[in-house]
Amino acid sequence: MSSVRNLRGRDALTLETIEIEVLDTRVASIRPYSGNVDDLWLAPGLVDLQVNGYGGIDLNAAACDAQAIERLTLLLASRGTTAYLPTVITAAHPEMESRLRTIAEARRNSTVVAHAVPGVHLEGPSISPIDGYRGAHAAEHVRPPSLTEFESLQVAADGLIKLVTLSPHWPDVATYIRALRDRGVTVALGHTHASPEQICAAVDAGAQLSTHLGNGIAAELPRHPNPIWTQLAEDRLTATFIADGVHLPADVLRVMLRAKGIERSVLVSDSVALAGSKPGLYHSPIGGDVIVGADGSVRMRDTGLLAGSGIALKDAVALAAGLPGSSLRDAVRMATEIPGGFLNAPCGRLAVGSSADLLLFRWSAADDTLALIEVLVEGRSMLALQNN
């Protein structure tokens, strides 16, 4: 027997008041609605290009198994993130292979994971080896790009690696970037001390993204040139931003969004397993001994460098939407259709016939997150699942 549901609210992307009819797993119709919807908003499910973990589940921990990844996927969905890229960071080659195999296994074994995970983000290992630029990545495992190594990792991942973050300072990196692009992999620049010339050469070779621009970089930089200015100025690069109020102060985020433009901007969480934890000292595969602050930040104890964020993507949407000169529409676009466009997957859009991955929520400019009323993934209520 078919299941039918109707959701009513203001479309966060068109600002029109609409009614969405969901038939089983798909959007059956979208039509104007003239009734009262109070302050309810509708949007596609959020798309996060950078998730290291959340809610105590760490994708970079040896103990993480396929069942944990399914739990993580359901947890993220209950927070409004219905599609995401599990992110594997710099480590020894066997460890990275193991983590990728686990993600591939989870996707094979679980229809929930298969639907939510269109690929994997490989952040490293070919990033800057220099302190500051390297961030929380382990120095001993940073190494030059190797197509042989990448192909080994891609086999372990069952072909799921869709995004690779690297630094373009390495010799002959343009050849490597072109090889990845030929294999259908999106290349992002991040954790880099590269010169303007090296950055431009990487873009000429096919790099398309900047990973968490303004972070993964030294605390002190030359006034100019430096890697931030070059990437901001390069119109062929779309930048991802961690909008948690910690990684980028509000005025910095505002300026960067203006420079890139909404069309070339993406919000990511860069969330880690300690997201939502009480303040205190913890040990993490990302950063080692880390301190969760009262503001939710996760910092390495010895250096104070950030080691991922403590937010879900819906929190970033609310923060970006509340910036002076910004809007909910812009923020939702940066967390749905724009990142979805890099995944070659049917996510982040609201259309008749699309999968019923939908959010119903309340929000005002004073709110620090979206108040989720309902989250549907293929027509199923994720909030009901989490509450059972």
CA torsion 206-208-211-213 (nearest 10°) is 110
9 appears as a binding residue in the annotation: no
306 appears as a binding residue in the annotation: yes
215 appears as a binding residue in the annotation: yes
- Orientation angle between helical segments 147-156 and 173-182, nearest 10 degrees: 30
Tokens for 30?
């979208």
Question: Which of 85, 273, 108 is CA-nearest to residue 165?
Answer: 85
Angstrom distance (rounded) from CA 268 to CA 315: 10
308 appears as a binding residue in the annotation: yes
Question: Which of 229, 236, 235 is CA-nearest to residue 186?
Answer: 236
Angstrom distance (rounded) from CA 282 to CA 289: 6
Q: Which helix (H) or strand (E) holds 175?
A: helix 173-182
Sign of CA dihedral 315, 319, 322, 326: negative
121 appears as a binding residue in the annotation: no
123 appears as a binding residue in the annotation: yes
Tell me, yes or no, if 48 is annotated catalytic. no
Q: Which helix (H) or strand (E) holds 338?
A: helix 337-340
191 appears as a binding residue in the annotation: yes
60 appears as a binding residue in the annotation: no
Query: What are the two backbone dihedrals, phi and then psi, of residue 12, each rounded to the nearest 5 degrees?
Result: -65, -20
Which single residue is written with the structure tokens 């396929």? Answer: 66
Catalytic residue, chosen from 270, 315, 330, 357, is 270
Angstrom distance (rounded) from CA 132 to CA 193: 9
SS3 (DSSP) at 202: helix
Q: Per the omega criterion (within 30 degrees of 0), is the bond before 346 cis?
A: no
CA 308 and chain centroid, separation: 11
95 appears as a binding residue in the annotation: no
307 appears as a binding residue in the annotation: yes
Question: Which of 283, 364, 271 is CA-nearest to residue 309?
Answer: 271
Amino acid found at 179? A
216 appears as a binding residue in the annotation: yes
Bind-site residues: 123, 136, 191, 212, 215-216, 223, 247, 306-308
Bind-site residues for substrate: 136, 215-216, 223, 247, 306-308
Bind-site residues for Zn(2+): 123, 191, 212
Which residues are designated catalytic? 270
